[in-house]
Structure formats: structure tokens, C-alpha cells
Structure 1
Amino acid sequence: MDMASIGIFIFAVIYITAGNGGFVNVQCKTENMGQYGQQSLLECAVKTSQGVTDVVIRTVSWKKEGVDEPLLVFHKGQTIKQPRCSFAEPSWNNRNMNVSLHITNTAVEDQGVYTCVVMTDRGGETSETRLKVTAKYSKPAIIAEPEKLTQSTGGTLVCNSVGGYPKGEIRWFGELNEDWTKSAKMEVKKTESGLFELSSELTLLPGSTYSMYTCAVFNTSGGKEDETTFEVPDGQDASGRSGKEPRKQSAQITKIVAPLVVIGSLIVGLLVVMVFVYGRRSRRDHQEVCASESDAEKGGHCEMDKEYYDTLAWGDVNAPNS
């Protein structure tokens, strides 16, 4: 007789004989939580009426809803079990009232409703319990498209988080914690293992004023599991240098040019003074020469020279041609 046949036989016997007395009660925890890839425990225990002692368990059967073959069967002193399933206590025997089920390497497919059937020498009973499986999502990773995305050029930020269960959600937040999730587009993929992969794209328009964005992954209960922050550069040129470098270079150039401008102004001013002084001196010397001349005919010539030197000294645009 195979395990499926044994299970059907046990269930039939228990349901027929379970009404033989109310001395035995199987109490199972309503809901159990299991972590993907870890060990899970479905807690059930046999309770007896007051004064009832020395109870001997004859049969135990664990079955999952939707699966025909039992996961674990104890019958006639023998235990038959499926891989990854066993009694919670390794040294379990027919006088141990702890009939909890232990599942190793919990998978998504293990989630569901389980039935525990117990038959003792004082009667039997059936009870149900539920297993919920969860898996934590990986730390979000953000990729910029294009790679050299800046506030001035805009682009797309892609956030990915994988390996979670049940289906979660990716949310976006700005530097002031404002919610940008509605502006993003999220995709959900289910892997062969039943876990989920989440991907969300947030488009940044050119001229964005925000310097950082945070991508956070939330589980199905609305709890935040992890987050990653991406800093957006304020600008980059074609060579990939940040926008801060040109400003720094400009400041350095200004520091060099400013003294040169001052020096140049001083030189020009000095030249103007020299021309002015030279013009006045030349006019004075020429006047002295004219005063010493006794010939009256040279008076007109001196007057003309006087006007000429006045022009040199004061820059008269209407100076007479020599």
C-alpha cells in the first residue's frame, strides 16, 4: 500500500471513530509564518480532558490542501514522510503530544492550508492551520540611463529589487521626502521559484531641480524593507567633467586677469601723465626761445608752434597740420 492509499485509509478511519468521545482535542495555531529558504513550523498539540492521562497516539496524518498525497503519516509505529517534512521533535514517539510539522528549506509552494488528523486510544480529532511564506526583497539598485545623467540633461532612473514574496512595491521619494511614485512606471515579474522581481522607471525632465532621489522597496504589508539613494550631478560637459569644474576654472582665470587689468590701467594712466607733462614742458621751452628772439618776423611762427604744442599736450583733434 503506497502513501496516498495509507492517507485515505487513515482519514476514513479517523472520521468514523472521531466521535467516540470528547477526551481528545487537537489545537493548532491559526496562522504560521515561514521564511523562504528557512525552516517553518506548523504548531499543533494534542490536549486531553481533565483527568485523562496515559494517552497513546495511534495515528497522525498531515495533509496540505490541494495535494493528494499526505506529507507525513504515523501509523502502526511507523513514520512515512515526504522530503523536507518531519515531526518538530526529532525524538518524537506515540506518547508525545506535540505533533507539530517541521518543513525545511521553505518554498513559495508550501504556502497554504494544512490539516492535522490525530487518532488516539481515547478518540481523535481534526484541526487546520495556515502557513504564510514571505521572502525579503534585495536592496534596491539604481541605474541611470544615460549613464552620465545630469540635472540639466535629464534622463531615466531605473530601480530594481528581486527575490521577494509576496508581490511588493517600489516607491520613489525626492530630497524633501516628497512622493514621486505616481510619476514612475513599475513592472513585476514572477520567477520560476515563485519569487517576484520588481523594476521601476522614473523619468527626469531636463532642468530638474532635485539633486537626489530615493528608491524604496515595500512588502505587501506596506512595511519598508530597504532603500537606495541616487545623487544627480548638477551638470556635466561632453568630456564627463562636472559643471562645478568650469566655474572653478573661471574663478582661477578671474584671479589672474584682475591683477593684469589693474596693472594695465596703471600703465595707461602713467603714459597719459607722461604725455601731459612732456607737452607742457615742450610748450614752456619753446616760449622761452621765442621770447629771446629779436626778429619780429618769427613771432608768427612762435604763435603757430604754441598752438601745435598745445595740441600735443591736450590732444586737440583739430590740431593744424604741419
Structure 2
Amino acid sequence: MCIQKAELMFSRPILKGFLCFILFVFQSGSSDKVQKVIAKLGDEAKLPCNYRIPPGESITNYNIYWQTPEKPTPLVVNFYVKDEEDDHIDVRYKNRTKINEQNLTLSIFSVKVSDERTYECIIIKDVLVSKSRVDLSVVAHFSKPIINEKPLNACGPVWLTLTCTSDGGYPRPMMLGSINNNTETWHTITTQDNKTGRFQITGNLQHNMTENILVHCSVEYQDLKVSTNFSLSMCPLPPMPPSYGIIIASAVLFIFLLAGVLLRILCYCHTCKYSRSSHPVRSFQLVATAEMTPQQLSNEASRTVS
């Protein structure tokens, strides 16, 4: 097994036995301290080696290896050995990694979900100088959740089906929610894109809407969170029809008013008729005949006037 590991890293026979011994020491003497690094999907990840070449020394005096501690055969991520070619670098990391010649930090470009693992930095100068481990975690931000309701434009009272959806993120998320600050459980379905490794999460929730509601949906992943709120209001109440008591009272009042008006009109008409019958208008006609003397005419006129 040691010889196979040596052949992955070296082509020069003189170093094979030495490397076998060194790898054995590495496997048995690994440090428990692991540094954690988080990188965004598609960005550059920088993994520190926690060792700096002293001033005045050249990197050519060192052998530097970045690999994964997988068994039985580690994956060679990148390495620096004088006069050695990079043929031993795993194809998944070829042309995607670079070692900083000052602090020996490993850069992984265009980070993928498959890059999420533990890495080892091994420094050799005649003997083992340094060994450190780094855990790389990959993260991708989820989109702001979108909440929809069925039936659409509902304003209650009605049973609602609420749906909250978010996608494009990594790692696998968890969905939390509440309605009017009361915790609710979303029934979730999570799917992962086979090519990109990104997740989509959709949650469903049933709720009997009997009042105005404020729906909260949050998606949590790694130590990150994205959330949104959604509100629905009850329909405005229709105007209440007047009660039968009010209708009857209004009708009785109207009848009394109408009766009063009619009675007043009748009284007025009766009063006018009585006044005319109590004071009749006298009519007279002075008729003169040829046989009447002037004295008789004068007397007749006086009687008529009186």
C-alpha cells in the first residue's frame, strides 16, 4: 500500500521508500485539530496550511502536498516537488487548484459541491515539518421564499392551502414557519439537482382562515437563513339588513304621521265649510215697478239695505 501511495506522488525511485515511511507516519500521527472553511458555490476556496516558509528559504527546499485523507488511496489535490510534473493530481482538481508559494495556502477555483470534504496539508523538509487538516464546507444561497395561497385572493372564512418555495441553495435546508406568531409545521419536499447539487424545497400548510393572518416562512441552511412574510385580510363585512322590529316601528310611525297629516287636512276643510254656513252671504235684487212712486222706491231701498 505504501508503494502505491508513493507511485502516485513520485516518479523518482530514490524517494519511494522514504515516502512510504512518511505516509505511514502521517496516517498514524494525524492531528485532531481541524480548521473549518466555508466557501460559496462557484467561488474560490482558500484552505490555509498554517505554515509559512521562513524568510531567506526557498520553496524548492520543501515538498508540499495537499491531499484528501481517503483510504486506501488519498486523492492528490495539488503538490509541489522540485522537478516533478503534475501528472499525479486527481483529474477532478487538475487546472482548478494552486498553491501559494509563501503561506502554502491551497486555492480551489470554481468550487463545486463535490469539493466538500477534508483536506490535508503536508510539509516535508528531509523530515516531517508540518501537517494540518482543513474541513471545507460549500454553501449556496437560497432564493427568497415565495408564498402562494389556494384558492387565490381568498379573504375567508375559508380553508387555505399555503405553499412556500425556495431554490438554488446548498446544503440541504430546513423550513420553519408561523401564522400570527404561532409556530406552524410545513410539510416539505426537498429535491436536489444532480448536476449542480443545488436544492429546492417546497412546503405545504393547511389553515382555516377566520381572521386576518400574517404567514412567515424561513429557510435555514448551514448557519444562514432567508425568510419572507405574507399577509391575507378578511373580506369586508356586507351591510347588515335592518331587523324586522325596526321595519315595523318605521311603518307604524309612518302610518301615524300620514294619519296626522290627513286628519289635519280634514279638520281644515271642515272648519272652512262651517265658516261659510254660519255667515251666509245675502243677495238682493231691487225690482222697481212702474206703479211705485219715488217715495215707495226710497222706502223699499232702505228696507233692502237694512
TM-score band by shorter chain is 0.5 to 0.7
**Residues 69 and 18 from structure 1, CA distance in 2 versus in 1: closer, same or farther, beyond 3 angstroms?**
closer
Question: How far did residue 135 of structure 1 move?
Answer: 2.0
Identify the residue that residue 76 of structure 1 maps to in structure 2: 82
Deviation, structure 1 residue 156: 0.8
CA-atom RMSD in angstroms: 4.1
Counterpart residue type for residue 83 of structure 2: G
- TM-score normalised by L of structure 1: 0.63
1:86 corresponds to which of 95, 98, 103: 98
User: Which runs of 5 or more residues in structure 1 are unaligned?
Assistant: 21-25, 236-242, 255-261, 294-322
Question: What code does the residue aligned with 1:218 have?
Answer: E
Taking structure 1 as reference, are residues 107 and 287 closer, same or farther at Cα in structure 2, changes over 3 Å only?
same
Residue identity in the other structure for 1:180: E
Could you say which residue in structure 2 is the equivalent of 1:203?
206
SS at match of 1:73: strand
Judging changes above 3 Å, is the alpha-carbon distance between structure 1 residues 46 and 214 closer, same or farther for their aligned structure 2 residues?
closer
In structure 2, C-alpha distance between the alignment counterparts of 1:84 and 1:212, rounded to whole Å = 47
Q: Choose the corresponding residue for 1:162, options 163, 167, 191.
A: 167
Letter paired with 2:164 = C
1:118 CA drift (Å)? 2.4
Deviation at 1:213, TM superposition (A): 0.7
Once the two structures are TM-superposed, the CA of residue 170 in structure 1 deviates from its matched residue by: 1.2
C-alpha separation in 2, matches of 1:4 and 1:197: 43
1:35 Cα deviation after fit: 1.8
Say how many residue pairs are matched. 249
The one of 51, 60, 64 equivalent to 1:60 is: 64
Percent identity among equivalent residues?
Answer: 17
Aligned partner letter, 2:151: P
Cα-to-partner distance string for 1:263-298 (whole Å, 9 max, x where unaligned): xx88983x54442233334545666788899xxxxx
Q: Deviations over 1:211-251 (max 9, x none)?
A: 22111112244x5x22111111313xxxxxxx46xx4xx59
Q: Which ranges in structure 2 are unaligned for 5 or more consecutive residues?
A: 26-30, 243-249, 281-306
- What is the rounded CA distance, in whole Å, between the counterparts of 2:234 and 2:173 in structure 1? 32
Superposition deviation, residue 209 in structure 1: 2.0
CA contact (8 A) 1:4 1:69 kept: no
2: CA distance between counterparts of 1:268 and 1:100? 102
Tell me, yes or no, if structure 1 residue 171 matches structure 2 residue 176.
yes
Change (3 A) 1:14 1:125: farther
Q: Structure 1 pair 12/127, CA: closer, same or farther in 2 (3 Å)? A: farther
| Equivalent position of 2:144 in the other structure | 139
CA displacement, residues 171-219 of structure 1 (integer Å, 9 cap, x when unaligned): 11223x22112xx3111112212222111111122x4324221111122
Compute the displacement of 1:39 (Å): 1.0
Which residue of 1 is the match for residue 290 of structure 2?
Answer: none
Pair 166,160 (structure 1): closer, same or farther in 2 beyond 3 Å: same
CA distance in 2, matches of 1:28, 1:14: 24
Do the aligned residues in 1 keep the contact of 2:6 with 2:16 (CA within 8 Å)? no
Q: Which amino acid aligns with 2:198?
A: L
Distance 1:13 1:291, change over 3 A: same
| Contact 1:28–1:43 under 8 Å retained in 2 | no
Q: Deviations over 1:47-99 (max 9, x none)?
A: 689xx974653422221244754121222234625121111x3xx3xxx4x22
Report the secondary structure of 1:70's partner residue.
strand
SS at 2:158 equivalent: coil
Q: Classify 1:125/1:11 alpha carbon distance in 2 versus 1 (closer, same or farther; 3 Å).
A: farther
Say yes or no: does 1:149 pair with 2:154: yes
Pair member with larger Rg: 2
